[in-house]
Amino acid sequence: MAVTPDNDNAPDEPMVFIIIGKAYETDGDEDGVDIHVMLKAPDDDTAVREALNALAEEGFLEADLDQIGTLTDVPSEEPHASAYQGALEGEVAIIRFS
């Protein structure tokens, strides 16, 4: 019989990461698009890898990821509230700022 050890370091809630950066859609695009990427992942390395894959699927050629962190509270304002809910459901939410 397998027993799951009780680990005080394990989070009670899923870890939802937010990654802040800039993404570029074309070669030579100097301005880029400011982005926030929200997703659920077991660690920050996986979060970065999945965020980069999702950005590539959306047509971005390159990205500069500046900050990564975990959300400790549920966002109350849009578009982050919807993105957080999507992340809890397993989606990778990309918020673009013009």
Residue 92 buriedness (CB in 10 A; 0-12 / 13-18 / 19+) = buried
- For 15-65, write each residue's pLDDT tens digit: 999 999 999 998 777 889 999 999 999 999 999 999 999 999 999 999 999
| pLDDT given at position 58 | 95
How far is 48 from 75, CA to CA, in rounded Å? 21
Task: Give whole-number Cα distances, 66 to 5, 12, 14, 36, 37, in Å.
Answer: 36, 27, 23, 10, 11
The Cα–Cα gap between 71 and 31 comes to: 27
Q: Are 94 and 37 in contact (CB under 8 A)?
A: yes
**Is the whole-model pTM more than 0.85?**
no
